[in-house]
Chain A
Amino acid sequence: MKKWMPYLLVSPYILHFAVFVAFPVVFSVILTFHSWNIISPMRYVGLANYEHVLKDRLFWQAVWNTLRFLLVHIPLQIVLALLLAELLNRTITGAAFFRAAFFLPVIVSGVVVTILWQQLLSFNSGILNRMLTAIALPRVAWLDDPAIAMYSIAAMATWKNVGLYVILFLVGLQSVPMQYYEAADIEGASSWQKFRYITLPMINPTIFTVVVLSTISGFSLFVEPYIMTQGGPMNTTLSAVMYIYRQAFQYYHMGYSATLGFCFALIILFVVIIQRRYVEQEL
């Protein structure tokens, strides 16, 4: 083998990394000190973009919206996924069918799911409200009430993704040694005790994986509110990525948008590091 062979083999990676990772990161930092609309030359503005971020109430609202989304989405997803995985985690007939059914929304584009749920959540003709009126309950403005629109989107995102986490939990559950449960049976433990003192501690790593994965995917929330509500009502479903997109591609504030992206990435890293700390202590 020629000495240069390994370098030839990794050259696509080096090139790709340089152009699409290293350069953007460095350029992103440079951009944050400039004002630029792409057409006219870049203008150095010092820390003005950062000062602007601190005072930009809409950005902080967008960050808060994204966090509100996560605060509902993640616990809901873990509870539902664990419940479904528990139900499936026996040799039952039709397990393959149920797994496949839960997984269907996972593979379909978020665009499809969003258009679908936009109709199902419609105030006048949506299925949910028709079910409510059928049992004589008042209709709910799922997407038009500022107090609940973001939670409707969080519930929809849970519906879309939960199948993936069911599969991850199933893998986790199947790695728990049966002897533990047998020993617990001899001791006369209840189902809940077995779940609380054996299953839960054993699948802690899976829970952590699910929390981190859904945190990162939740922070990139964009298509769902973009199609469903365009950020409304009253900016309560405006996500951080949507706001960054808006600043760049509607107002052409490239420097400012890059600053927002940079600050938001720091927030993401902060949240993920906290999660990791916390979980490591728990383990």
Chain B
Amino acid sequence: MNPFIRYALLTLAALSFIYPFIWMVSASLSSESGLSELTLLPVGFTWSNYATVFTKIPLDRAFVNSAFVAVLTTGLVLVSGAMVGYALARLDFRGRNGIFYLIIFTMTLPFQITLIPNYITMVRFGWVDTYLALIVPFALNSLSILLFRQAFQSLPQALIDAARMDGGNELRIIFQILVPNILPTVLTITILTFMGLWNEALWPLIVIRDESTMTMPQLVTLFSVGGRAEGQLGVKIAAAVLLAIPIVVLYLFFQKHFIRSMASSGLKD
């Protein structure tokens, strides 16, 4: 193909992915009358949309909730994934294959089956409207176990033998000796998990009713669906921009790793 056409098509495509975001940011900084412009720069520049968001919904609180939940849960996923992945990759014990197949089975199980019973479990545990409901069900996930297992399998046995000779217990072997050797995998799992948690909207909508415990995507969803935006599009868009900013900033820092981790997992959401 003619390189000129190739570049023209690629540029057109790139514009169609980037321009809507630029429009979104400039619309959020425009006065209501400037919203319908196909603009790159704000029309009638104003911060008022952002000011209004914070007076209508506790978005700052939701940001803290989201950050707390996503960071803590990602940490738990790394710890539990490394433990289980290590046992599956490196230790010989009865039931190991059984557990491996259970993990595969869980991954293929549509979440629509477990949605209602899991909500009932949360009610029974008294976890509705608490952080526990947002953290515990996600504190372990099958994909991260499989990725850890794969990474641990690729390490030489001599590394583990040497550590055992020095009298290290298994937990120290995992976290002090082996994990530092598979940092790319750890980064992949961190990115996938954090991104999934940050963007999750359905589960919080189900288990959180109290505004002070809501996560960002949930609060923005309810704000946008409910009448509180009062037809002010600029305010709705400003809320969406605020929800997008943290993950976009992370993406700009870790671009390569984001793309690589998604490609290596072959999975999304």
Measured CB to CB, the residues of A under 8 A from B are 1, 5-7, 9-10, 12-14, 16-17, 19-21, 23-25, 27-28, 31, 38, 84, 87-88, 90, 92, 94, 97-112, 115-117, 119-120, 124-125, 127, 130-131, 159, 161, 163-164, 167-168, 170-171, 191, 209, 213, 216-217, 219-220, 222-223, 226-227, 230, 240-241, 244-245, 248-249, 254, 257-258, 261-262, 264-265, 268-269
The reply to whether B201 and A115 contact each other, CB–CB distance below 8 Å, is no
Known A-B contacts A27-B120, A116-B20; the reply to A110 vs B84 at CB < 8 A is no
Best-buried of A6, A101, A170 by chain B (most CB within 10 Å): A6
The reply to whether A248 and B119 contact each other, CB–CB distance below 8 Å, is yes
Assuming A20-B137, A84-B13, A223-B202, what are 11 further A-B pairs, CB within 8 angstroms?
A: A5-B91, A6-B87, A13-B84, A21-B114, A25-B109, A98-B13, A104-B18, A107-B258, A116-B240, A124-B36, A245-B206
The reply to whether A17 and B106 contact each other, CB–CB distance below 8 Å, is yes
A23 to chain B, nearest CB (A): 7
The reply to whether B114 and A115 contact each other, CB–CB distance below 8 Å, is no
Q: Is B69 an interface residue (CB 8 A)?
A: no
Contact of A101 among B17, B38, B221 (CB under 8 A): B17
Residues of B within 8 A of A116 (CB): 20-21, 24, 237, 240
18 contacting pairs across A/B (C-beta < 8 A): A9-B87, A17-B102, A21-B102, A24-B113, A25-B117, A38-B123, A87-B10, A110-B199, A115-B236, A120-B23, A127-B38, A130-B38, A131-B38, A168-B266, A220-B110, A223-B201, A244-B112, A262-B113
Measured CB to CB, the residues of B under 8 A from A are 1, 3, 6-7, 9-10, 13-14, 16-18, 20-21, 23-24, 27, 35-36, 38, 80, 83-84, 86-88, 91-93, 96, 99, 102-103, 106, 109-121, 123, 137, 139-140, 145, 164, 170, 195, 198-199, 201-202, 205-206, 217, 220-221, 224-225, 233, 236-237, 239-241, 243-244, 247-248, 251, 255, 258-259, 262-263, 266-269
| Alpha-carbon distance between A168 and B268 when the two chains are bound, in angstroms | 12
Q: Which secondary structure dominates where chain B touches chain A?
A: helix
Residues of A within 8 A of B7 (CB): 92
The reply to whether B170 and A103 contact each other, CB–CB distance below 8 Å, is no
| Alpha-carbon distance between A273 and B224 when the two chains are bound, in angstroms | 38
B181 to chain A, nearest CB (A): 18
Residues of A within 8 A of B115 (CB): 244, 248, 261
The reply to whether B262 and A227 contact each other, CB–CB distance below 8 Å, is no
A280 to chain B, nearest CB (A): 16
Known A-B contacts A9-B170, A102-B17, A264-B112; the reply to A24 vs B117 at CB < 8 A is yes
Residues of B within 8 A of A125 (CB): 35-36
